[in-house]
Amino acid sequence: MNDDPIDVEKIRRILHLAKAANNQQNPDQAIALIETLRLAESEGLEKDWADSQLILAEAYTAKGDQLAETLFEETFELLAQFSPPEITLEIRAHEHFGDYLRRFAKRPSLARQHYENAKSRAVDLHICAEDIARIQLKIEAIELAMDQSPEAENFATLKRVAKKWGYTCAEQLAAWLHHKGQADDHDQGLRFARNREQAGEQYFKYLLDMVRMKT
């Protein structure tokens, strides 16, 4: 039996490094780091345990490995035990499970449900608009794909322009909502003649610039 004291700070440093590895598209490194912890549920470390399982689920998602689905299910079971709930972990779990379901499992309707859950929890937590916009953009993409909408090409153009010029998710969402005709009527500065069937990069660059000027 190992009676050595638990080094909580070391555990959390490793968790931080593993998350960073996932963010840097290095899932194998993230998995290796979590495996060094040999972490198990213990009093006072329940959140860290759940976080470690979520990091693994995210890493296997990046690899397109079906093990991700099992790991997400186990993570949700762990999160269900928290009172009060760990909302930040719930948001991550729902959003990234949605990513797995959309990209690899090809189950868009279920992915959309998880994105909606993530967005709802994000609103509850009053997190920044950028995170909420990122999730909503994923919902928009799923709806376009499920409807086989001709607007999917325009959405792809918007995303391409936004990536090229470094626009935020909040700016992208505002521009897209205007394109869909859902912006406020008083946004006169965003009016721009276009053919909705063939909106090009210049048009979306204009919309994105106008949104940025208003923020």
Cα–Cα distance between 63 and 43 in angstroms, integer? Answer: 32
**Which residue matches tokens 């005709």?**
181
Q: Please tell me the predicted confidence (pLDDT) of residue 5.
A: 65
Q: Is the pTM higher than 0.85?
A: yes
Q: Which residue has the tokens 């198990």?
A: 40
Residue 215 structure tokens: 């923020």
φ, ψ dihedrals at 197, nearest 5°: -75, -30
pLDDT at 64: 96
Which residues of the chain fall short of a pLDDT of 70? 1-5, 40-43, 182-198
Question: Minimal CA–CA distance to 113: which of 93, 94, 132?
Answer: 94
Q: Is the dihedral of CA 29, 93, 50, 75 positive or negative?
A: negative
3-class SS at 158?
A: helix
DSSP-based three-state secondary structure for 55? helix
Radius of gyration of the CA atoms of the chain, in A? 20
Report the C-alpha gap between 190 and 181 in whole angstroms.
11
User: Model confidence over 147-186: pLDDT tens digits?
Assistant: 999 999 999 999 999 999 999 999 999 999 999 985 444 3
Residue 214: partners with Cβ closer than 8 Å, 6 or more residues away: 187, 189
Q: Which pLDDT score, from 0 to 100, does residue 1 have?
A: 40
Q: What is the C-alpha to C-alpha distance for residues 20 and 105, in angstroms, rounded to an integer? A: 25
Q: Tell me the C-alpha distance between 58 and 71, whole Å.
A: 9
Length of the chain: 215
At 125 the pLDDT is: 85
What confidence score (pLDDT) does residue 154 get?
94
Closest-CA residue to 31 (of 58, 51, 4): 58
Which residues touch 215 (CB under 8 Å, ≥6 apart)? 170, 171
SS3 184: coil
